[in-house]
Amino acid sequence: MKGSSSQCLQQTTIMPRRKHILIVDDDPDQRLGLHIRLKANNYSTSFAGDAMTSILEARKKQPDLIILDLGLPAGDGFVVMERLRNITPLAVVPVIVVSARASETSRERALKAGARAYLHKPVDNDELLAVIHQAIDA
């Protein structure tokens, strides 16, 4: 019989998971600004305002990338990078340092500690997105 058994073809579109970025900065305005920029470019975000919380949040969220300020309460960004490198699932997560520290010594130390890039505040939006793309989307 025609029409007695109908087959429905269901197309399933698999949407790629949005990349998740942990923003670590003690300045709420900096966190919000980065969140707005990243959300507009289809990234999901979470936040930490100090070194201790950043490690806990990284363990919880398993981010694809971490944007890290160096000047943090409860330990600086260098301590955070050292601790991340000692946690197996987090040791491979790319870190981009975004800091107001303009010294070449801080930059060299951050890169030696494993940062993929060192950007100065205020960070240029296009430069930040290019570095993120290079680190996790390419």
Share of the chain above pLDDT 90, in %: 82
CB 63 within 8 A of CB 132: no
Q: Determine the pLDDT at residue 32.
A: 97
Confidence of residue 6 (pLDDT cuts 50, 70, 90): very low
Average pLDDT over residues 92-115: 94
Contacts of 18 (CB under 8 A, 6+ apart): 42, 43, 44
**H-assigned helices in the chain:** 28-40, 51-61, 77-85, 104-112, 125-132
Q: What is the pTM of this model?
A: 0.87
